[in-house]
Amino acid sequence: MPDSRPLHILLAPAPRIVTDIFDEADLARLRALGSLAIHEDGPMTDDVFNAHAHADIIVGQFDMPAERLQRAKNLRAIINVEGNFLPNVDYPYCFGNGVRVLNVSPVFAEPVAELALGMAIDLARGVSRSDRRFRDGTEHYGLDANRDAFSLYRQDIGFVGMGDLGRAILPLLAPFGVRVRAYDPWLPSMWIESLGCEAASLETVLRMSKLVFVVASVTDDNQGLLDATAFAMMPKGAALVLVSRAGVVDFDAMLDFAAQGHIRVATDVFPSEPVPRSHRMRDIDRILLSPHQAGALAPALREIGKRTVADAELIARGLPPVMCKIAQPETVARFRSTPVAKS
Amino acid sequence: MPDSRPLHILLAPAPRIVTDIFDEADLARLRALGSLAIHEDGPMTDDVFNAHAHADIIVGQFDMPAERLQRAKNLRAIINVEGNFLPNVDYPYCFGNGVRVLNVSPVFAEPVAELALGMAIDLARGVSRSDRRFRDGTEHYGLDANRDAFSLYRQDIGFVGMGDLGRAILPLLAPFGVRVRAYDPWLPSMWIESLGCEAASLETVLRMSKLVFVVASVTDDNQGLLDATAFAMMPKGAALVLVSRAGVVDFDAMLDFAAQGHIRVATDVFPSEPVPRSHRMRDIDRILLSPHQAGALAPALREIGKRTVADAELIARGLPPVMCKIAQPETVARFRSTPVAKS
Amino acid sequence: MPDSRPLHILLAPAPRIVTDIFDEADLARLRALGSLAIHEDGPMTDDVFNAHAHADIIVGQFDMPAERLQRAKNLRAIINVEGNFLPNVDYPYCFGNGVRVLNVSPVFAEPVAELALGMAIDLARGVSRSDRRFRDGTEHYGLDANRDAFSLYRQDIGFVGMGDLGRAILPLLAPFGVRVRAYDPWLPSMWIESLGCEAASLETVLRMSKLVFVVASVTDDNQGLLDATAFAMMPKGAALVLVSRAGVVDFDAMLDFAAQGHIRVATDVFPSEPVPRSHRMRDIDRILLSPHQAGALAPALREIGKRTVADAELIARGLPPVMCKIAQPETVARFRSTPVAKS
Amino acid sequence: MPDSRPLHILLAPAPRIVTDIFDEADLARLRALGSLAIHEDGPMTDDVFNAHAHADIIVGQFDMPAERLQRAKNLRAIINVEGNFLPNVDYPYCFGNGVRVLNVSPVFAEPVAELALGMAIDLARGVSRSDRRFRDGTEHYGLDANRDAFSLYRQDIGFVGMGDLGRAILPLLAPFGVRVRAYDPWLPSMWIESLGCEAASLETVLRMSKLVFVVASVTDDNQGLLDATAFAMMPKGAALVLVSRAGVVDFDAMLDFAAQGHIRVATDVFPSEPVPRSHRMRDIDRILLSPHQAGALAPALREIGKRTVADAELIARGLPPVMCKIAQPETVARFRSTPVAKS
């Protein structure tokens, strides 16, 4: 195996904190690759950057315009310790010069999938709503509590988007024997079918599903994709679980349909956070509100460091990274996520 | 195949209502076996019983003491359309005279398992609690919302009891890659291990699990099995999901440990229902209250009829029933469930 | 838990040998239940039997007519260390007197399922046939070797019978994404569908399947069930895997259809064993011959003892056995298997 | 979605034949992307190439040196309709200029995995060997046939390599409850563990496994990796299934160890094909010979066209391909497979 030259690694993960995402053993593995510089005090000025311009690997999310990249002659990889590809990197330069750009979105797939399933069962079976009534002293028992409940077993389930997050939810649904229809314009039918799902139009997904998971990233093309017209297509009593990005839906329209009781909604994301104290969504009966807590679980943060280190070790050995998400030239510029601090 | 003599079937499912559990097609299949008598107006008096004492199959839950059974010379099966074996049947007579006694508990396994998983994720991830805070305007976001959250992935899970209900929960947990320890004194270690679980003592289950499912039936031997001593064995912050029968736990002790924040509790069953309006449990932060709604789902009720008919057809052909639960001579007298109306 | 009276156990497993099926630890567990008498020298004479007529549990397969059973006043269970229920036990007496009759057929399900899958892939992909040609120097390579090969992935698979053995094969097929149609006249459609299969007539199974597993026990009703008419229904090039009992098929007709190349056949069972040296089946190209080796694997034999002990321990505690197969009054008299020595 | 300019596609799949891999519907989909030129008569001369140098997508495996690539100004993707990346493409040019290079190896994963499992069961249970003895009239029955048989259930299984092929085998083994140790120097332990396997050294894999699947590609680093020293580490009676490339093993040493009965071997690949008529391997009892038939199944060939079309449609829309294997700059130059005609 070639390439045992010691590497220089620049670790500047702000606004993340090094010790949140790396334990001592992980840092030791990074150091073992050559030299490790940690920068945590203050912004990444040009002076600081220039002092580490010989870095082989940069771990962080600071600005990387062409002028910096051109100075980073040894650079092989930029590992962003977030779940998104931010617009502050000159991607074309990277693709043209053999610099891998990675993010750590895989660490969030499991915790988000778990919460999405919990939210789905909550909406279907009325878990939090029954508990709320119990606390109010207005609960009903047995069959009377279940008048509009439904089960996930053998249910018609829809997906808007079938990327990494959708694929993390699928195995959790498998034991329920569900039928899944998925809409994802970036993926061929053949690919969706290889997952045991049916490829379908957005309209078919909405019309035929009792429960829809919205797991699409926001792009130029799909902002506000789920609007009043879309919600109206959903059968009365159907449920919507939103765990990717608020920008994919017309949030006000979604709240209207929930307030009218046409659909049930669970959402972990919001157009802006914190949600205003007096916002009407806080009083809607048919909504389950989750304060952006789907992915931000301690084990996920610790996994950021572990994936970063594992891929850095591969890169040091001249091998392709496999633990982080790799930016693709065709799509990286299309994402429109805005960063959320410490999500 | 022998035995095509037409059968007489007596259907008297009170307090269940025939049309709740049988659709027309199911009733037509019953009628096709010979003659069907439906008794829904009033109690099963001796006069009514005597008029149908020649029945081959009885579907219902009325009293069947020896004196009635002795008159039922043709009787091959009693199918109780509940999830329990009630103490109003002379079981030894049945076992000694080739009368199968069945119940329909399998219809409840899936809906209860589903809710149990939903409750488990709720306790682990704080779903309903975060929603409650959102409605109060006191929510935290992201990491701050997750300070005491944990994930089910690769978690240590415990089971108290590993009967039909436990076995319905296991496949739902499988995609989380959990490690399961199970305590069930009625089952050999070999049997529990064949399910991919570890057989363990009650103490080991309690001490080693972050989340415990209590799914044991109540018997003479296990009333109040989980008491203050048991709850104290659970690690701080662990979660308990109770979906079988309240009698298995010392309910007050359980509430104490939840109120102190030592454990988190979700329960679908209660010592008596309805719970008194002013009961302290309604105000405990670390409890999730579910008003006996785990099994009483409409599709489960309709499945009662379908399982009854399928087994009646087998019995008519001289074959063993396979869709309902079969009373076992060794255990039927040990159960101590009290019937709950329309559960 | 009641019933700690010491038990007397009579172990007389001829023609099986005690040390083939019990290791020392298993025997020690049996002894710990009370007293254990092992009889291995010679037949079970009445004198020997009478000396142990007070046994609580009998492990063996010797004759148990009513006159012996009536003397065995303490008897709770007979555990036959074979995979079949033999006709030398007075079953009605047992059912009427609370004596459990068990066999150890579950130990054979896994090894037989494994071999059945191996045979299925062999027939589909031409494994042994290609190897045979290689040894003859007549092999073809690549595509030319695969002219009539087919894959199990997403294939139409049929089952004749869906008992314990069929259910052991199903999980092995699951990752191939197959569609399974199953014919079993003893089981309701609902039951078969709960396994993820389609309930179908025998004709549909035969006409629609590229590969058929014959896993039915022989009964009064199904001897020679698969005859020339049945084989003619199978599509040309389809495959048949026979692993239960030769009596279910018209063996000569099966060989005819294999010899003509209409179907491919793999069989582990034969009308009589050993097969005559000059039998024509030895020269048919489209047959895979397996000398009754599907179940007789050393780990299966050792599991006999373990299941026996586990159930004896349950019986000692007044609990129902769960590790062995329990004779059912409706069906036990219908089986027509003849014992095969040391199978 | 951008980029609806019509594309020009050059399809020249020799030595594959267009109609073997594309059906009419697939060709129609290619044509619908713009213009399609099919070249099947004769080699790809510079004249022919120049006439299509404006192609956006090239489907084929002809030489693509820098001088041709430089003329192909519109080129976005080269799709090789083989399972390997051949050394006749200037990969650095492609990576530096945004040209995707793909191959269709995913179509072979399922058929090879299926045959690998069939071979594994054959070695473990003696399927073809027993059949061979049956044909010779020397068969033994039952236990006597199984003296050295073993089962895959709960077995220790090893993998040398855990790429796409290994990952296709894993789900087929999952229902057997196996313990898998895998050696793959290109993959982090974390990655292997995420598959439910244990990452291990080659020596550990060899010493601890009863059955080893060799599924590594040949690279500069691993030619002859499994040599006499390696085979000697395997426990007596262990089995080796070789389905990737013969170059990974010292073939003569492997035959020696099989001939001595130390290990059992199944191989689908050979140092050269056809194998000489008089080669000693044809007479070794403990070997299963498969004439390079693992992947070359008709459905796999048809899938080549389908994956090619699906990715071409994505590329036409400016999206990343997902159905074919994408060449990675770090590894593409390391593979050392020599093409095998029409495999």
Does D340 map to a domain?
no
Of B95, B97, B306, which is closest to C190 when you measure between CB atoms? B306
The pLDDT, as a whole number, for residue A219 is: 87
Work out how many domains chain D is built from and give that number.
2
Tell me whether residue D1 is in a domain: no
Q: What is the pLDDT of residue D169?
A: 98
CATH number for the domain that contains residue B20: 3.40.50.720
- Asked whether residue D337 carries a pLDDT value surpassing 60, the answer given is no
Token readout for D156 is 């220790």
**Cα A264 to Cα D283: distance, rounded to the nearest angstrom:** 69
Locus of tokens 């939810």: A169
**Residue B336 belongs to a domain:** no
Q: Whole-number mean pLDDT of chain B?
A: 95
**CB contact (8 A) between residue A293 and residue B126:** yes
CB spacing of A190 vs D310 below 8 angstroms: yes
B213 with B234, same domain: the answer is yes
Mean pLDDT in consecutive groups of 10 residues from the start of chain A, 343 residues: 77 95 97 97 94 97 96 97 93 95 97 98 98 97 95 98 97 98 97 97 98 93 95 98 96 98 98 96 98 94 97 97 96 68 39
Residue C26: what residue type?
A: D
Q: B114 CB near a chain A CB, below 8 Å?
A: yes
In the three-class reduction of DSSP (H, G, I as helix; E, B as strand; rest coil), residue D224 is classed as coil
Q: What are the chain D neighbours of A306 within 8 Å (beta carbons)?
A: 190
Domain assignment present for D2: no
| For residue C341, pLDDT beyond 70 | no
Q: What is the mean pLDDT of residues D150-158?
A: 98
Q: In A, which residues are within 8 Å of B146 by CB distance?
A: 293, 296-298
Interface test with A, best of B82, B123, B128, B167 (most A CBs within 10 A): B128
Do C126 and C142 fall into the same domain?
yes
Identify which of D72, D262, C193, A135 has the alpha carbon closest to the alpha carbon of residue B129. Answer: A135
Q: Which range of residues forms the domain containing residue B122?
A: 108-289
Q: Is the Cβ–Cβ distance between B79 and B324 less than 8 Å?
A: yes
Best residue in A17, A21, A128 to probe B by mutation, most B CBs within 10 Å?
Answer: A128
Which is it for the CA torsion B76, B79, B85, B89, positive or negative? negative
* Phi, psi for B158 (deg, rounded to 5): -120, 150
Alpha carbon D275 to chain centroid, angstroms: 20
Partner residue opposite A282 with nearest CB, options B137, B298, B342: B137
**Whether D100 and D115 share a structural domain:** no
Closest by Cα among C185, C188, C331 to B318: C331
| Chain B interface includes C174 (CB < 8 A) | no
| Residues in chain D closer than 8 A to A185 (CB atoms) | 1
Query: CA–CA separation, A53 vs A46, rounded Å?
Result: 10
Asked if C84 has any chain D CB less than 8 Å from its own CB, the reply is no
Taking CB atoms and an 8 Å limit, are B328 and C322 in contact across chains? no
Distance from CA of A312 to the nearest CA of B (A): 25
Domain identity same for D320 and D228: no
Burial class (CB in 10 A: 0-12, 13-18, 19+), A65: exposed
Residue type, D109: A
Band the pLDDT of D336: cuts 50, 70, 90: low
pLDDT at A342: 39
Distance, in Å, from the CA atom of C178 to the CA atom of C150, rounded to the nearest integer, reads 13
Percentage of chain B modeled with pLDDT above 70 = 97
Contact across the interface for C190 and B98, Cβ inside 8 Å: no
**Domain annotation covers residue B18:** yes
- The Cα–Cα gap between A255 and A258 comes to 5
pLDDT of res. D220: 82
C306 CA to chain B: closest CA distance, Å? Answer: 8
Kindly state whether residues D219 and D128 are assigned to the same domain.
Answer: yes
Which is nearest to A94 in space by CA: A112, A75, A110, A119? A75
Tens digits of residue pLDDT in B148-174:
999 999 999 999 999 999 999 999 999
Print the SS3 string covering B84-145. CCCCCECHHHHHHCCCEEEECCHHHHHHHHHHHHHHHHHHHHCHHHHHHHHHHCCCCCHHHH
Distance from CA of D68 to the nearest CA of A (A): 19
Tens-place pLDDT, residues D14-54: 999 999 999 999 999 999 999 999 999 899 999 999 999 99
Assess contact for C21 and C306: CB atoms under 8 A. Answer: no
The confidence score (pLDDT) of residue B337 equals 57
Nearest CA in chain B to C315: B330
Q: Cβ separation of C98 and B98 shorter than 8 Å?
A: no
Indicate whether A249 and A181 sit together in one domain. Answer: yes
Same domain, C93 and C30: yes
Best mutation target among B322, B324, B326, B334 (most C Cβ atoms within 10 Å) is B322
- Would you say residue C337 has pLDDT above 60? no
Domain assignment present for residue D210? The answer is yes
Cα–Cα distance for residue pair B23/B97, rounded to 1 Å: 32
Chain C residue numbers touching D288 (CB-CB < 8 A): 127, 131
Kindly state whether residues D253 and D267 are assigned to the same domain: yes
CB of C283 closer than 8 Å to CB of C291: no
Residues B71-115: tens digit of each pLDDT: 999 999 999 999 999 999 999 999 999 999 999 999 999 999 999
Does any CB of chain D come closer than 8 Å to the CB of residue C171?
A: yes
- Neighbors of chain C with 3 or more C-beta pairs under 8 Å: B, D
Q: What is the mean pLDDT of residues B294-316?
A: 96
**Residue B44 belongs to a domain:** yes
pLDDT above 50: residue B339: no
pLDDT at C107: 97
Distance CA D245, CA D217 (A): 6
Q: Are residues B241 and B148 in the same domain?
A: yes
| Residue-wise pLDDT tens digits, C271-325 | 999 999 999 999 999 999 999 999 999 999 999 999 999 999 999 999 999 999 9
- ipTM of predicted assembly, 2 dp: 0.96
Q: Test B110 with A151 for CB contact under 8 angstroms.
A: yes
Pair C283, C321 in one domain? no
Are C167 and C59 part of one and the same domain?
no
Name residues 241-280 of chain C within 8 A of B (Cβ): none
pLDDT band at D87 (very low <50, low <70, confident <90, very high): very high
Nearest CA-CA distance, residue A123 and chain B, Å = 10
Same domain, B187 and B234: yes
List of chain B residues whose C-beta atoms are within 8 Å of the C-beta of residue A210: none
Could you say which of B188, B221, B307 has the minimum Cβ distance to residue C314? Answer: B188
Q: Do C114 and D135 touch (CB under 8 A)?
A: no
Q: D282 at the C interface (CB within 8 A)?
A: yes
Decide: helix, strand or coil at residue B233.
Answer: helix
The pLDDT value recorded for residue A257 is 98
Residue C182 and residue C158 in contact, taking contact as beta carbons nearer than 8 Å: yes
pLDDT greater than 80 at residue B184: yes
Residue C340 located in a structural domain: no
Test B191 with C306 for CB contact under 8 angstroms.
no
Q: State the Cα–Cα distance between residues D278 and D265, nearest whole angstrom.
A: 19
* B310: nearest CB among C98, C188, C328: C188
The pLDDT confidence band at residue C343, using thresholds 50, 70 and 90, is very low
List the beta bridge partners of residue C181. Answer: C158, C198
